Chains A and B, each alone.
Chain A
Amino acid sequence: MAVLECKHLTKQYGHVTALENLNFSIEPGHIVGLLGPNGSGKTTLIKLANGLLTPTSGELLVCGAAPGRETRAAVSYLPERTSIPLWMTTTQLLDFYQDFYADFRRDAAEEMLQHLNIRPKQRVKQMSKGTREKVQLIMVMSRAAKLYLLDEPIGGVDPATRDYILSTIIGNYDPEAAVVISTHLISDVEKVLDEVLFINQGRLVLQSSVDQIREEQGVSVDELFREVFKC
């Protein structure tokens, strides 16, 4: 069964159409890049998938069910902005995630934090922006979820940290789960993806595997994106 499925999915904000008649599905075991220019509807789609927004028409299913209490337990979400409480220490943050999520793998999270030399007593407030992003990603990836929704996970961090974040994603997802990564930094994530979804002005322009694009078009996904969305 598809981990995420959209059927004629449409979302309007008043008169503005953010997503129009989207049809696609994402299979378990796949890491999918959600790619599109600014304002194309990427974040709207992610918010619909985790139940923060509701469709205007059509439907969106997570593991066969409309977003709700059960699907929320199966979805691990990394929002665009860092949202972990600043006053907490690393240990308090681990307790917090453990209380909230039955699928939280605390030992996995502790191991990764240790690897990054983040002390248990350190407060989030004292961490740099990059470290906060890493810590939040570690929390999100330490859940044994069915669907990971990562909104711009590598946006504000340096290239070495990007590599660390991407290898954390590869090393931690379950082959039964799916990962959706929304980003502009295509050349950085391309190698990590199974397939890509191009969306533009709320419409799905292309769904293809990365190697299929390279094989058939002879260019990288990054180059294809630049061609398709040329200003």
Chain B
Amino acid sequence: MKWYFSDNAPIYAQLVQQIKVGIVTGGFPPGERLPSVRDLATEAGVNPNTMQRAFAELERDGLVYSQRTAGRFVTEDRAMIEQTKKGLAECHIRQFLESMDQLGFRREEVIALLRQESGKEELGNGGSGM
């Protein structure tokens, strides 16, 4: 897994976000055991206490649960994973709309532009199939 960090948000929050992405995209499949705090911290190049804090937050959300001796596991509740996926999408959309607001687009214009762009993509895909 590749880890990215920006400068303006707490590191633990960015870890939570990226592990969530890992869970919804199947990088960490439902019911699967997660790597240990130290291994994942070493991989991401972050402080183990920060990784611990991220795990604690994911546990509070219910996406991850720990079994005293066996370690930490991804939830098997697929509805919750689906819900998380939707939540992440909404978050991206809000950020996108904010940027479009800043550029001065009205909602109808944004939607029209989206249609136009995704139409181009479909054409592009059709083209490549030939």
Q: Which residues of A are interface residues toward B (Cβ below 8 A)?
A: 29-31, 163, 166-167, 170-171, 175, 190-194, 210-211, 214-215, 218-220, 222-223
Residues of chain B contacted by A31 (CB below 8 angstroms): 47
- Is A192 a contact of B45 with CB atoms below 8 Å? yes
Interface SS, A side = helix
B3-36: which residues lie under 8 A (CB-CB) from chain A? 5, 7-13
Q: A170-B38, A170-B41, A171-B38 are in contact. Are A191 and B46 (CB under 8 A)?
A: yes
Contacts of A222 in B (CB 8 A): 7
A158 to B55 CA separation, bound complex (whole angstroms)? 32
* Known pairs A191-B45, A191-B50, A215-B10 / 5 extra A-B pairs, C-beta < 8 Å: A191-B5, A211-B12, A214-B8, A220-B7, A220-B8
* Interface bracket on B: 10 to 19
List A contacts of B83 (CB < 8 A). none
CA distance A54 to B41 in the complex (A): 37
Kindly list chain A residues whose C-beta atoms are within 8 Å of the C-beta of B45: 163, 166-167, 170, 191-192
A170/B48 in contact, CB under 8 A: yes
Closest A residue to B6 using CB positions? A220
B residues 28-76 touching A (CB-CB < 8 Å): 38, 41-42, 44-50, 53
In the bound complex, do residue A170 and residue B47 qualify as a contact, i.e. CB atoms below 8 Å apart?
A: yes
Which residues from A are CB-within-8-Å of B42?
167, 170-171
Chain A residues within an 8 Å CB radius of B44? 191
Secondary structure of the B contact surface, majority rule? helix
- A to B CB contacts below 8 Å, 17 in the list: A166-B45, A167-B42, A170-B38, A170-B42, A170-B47, A170-B48, A171-B38, A171-B42, A191-B46, A192-B45, A192-B47, A210-B47, A210-B50, A211-B10, A211-B12, A214-B11, A218-B8
Q: Is A191 a contact of B7 with CB atoms below 8 Å? A: no
Q: How far is the CA of A220 from the CA of B11 in the complex (A)?
A: 10
Inter-subunit contact A194/B50 (CB<8 Å): yes
Question: Nearest B residue to A216 by beta-carbon distance?
Answer: B10
* Most central of B46, B47, B50, B53 by chain A CB within 10 Å: B47
A194 and B8: CB pair below 8 A?
A: no
Residues of the A chain whose Cβ atoms lie less than 8 Å from the Cβ of B12: 211
Q: Are A193 and B8 in contact (CB under 8 A)?
A: no
B10 touches A214 (CB 8 A): yes
CB-defined contacts of B38 to chain A, threshold 8 Å:
170-171
Q: A30 to B41, alpha carbons, bound, how many Å?
A: 14
Interchain CA distance A172-B49 in the complex, whole Å: 14
- For A166, the chain B residues whose CB sits under 8 A away are 45
Q: Point out the residues of chain B lying under 8 angstroms from A163, CB to CB.
A: 45
A220 to chain B minimum Cβ distance, whole angstroms, is 4
Give the shortest distance, in Å, between A158 (CB) and chain B (any CB). 16
Name which residue of chain A comes closest to B48, CB basis: A170
CB of B8 within 8 A of CB of A29, answer no
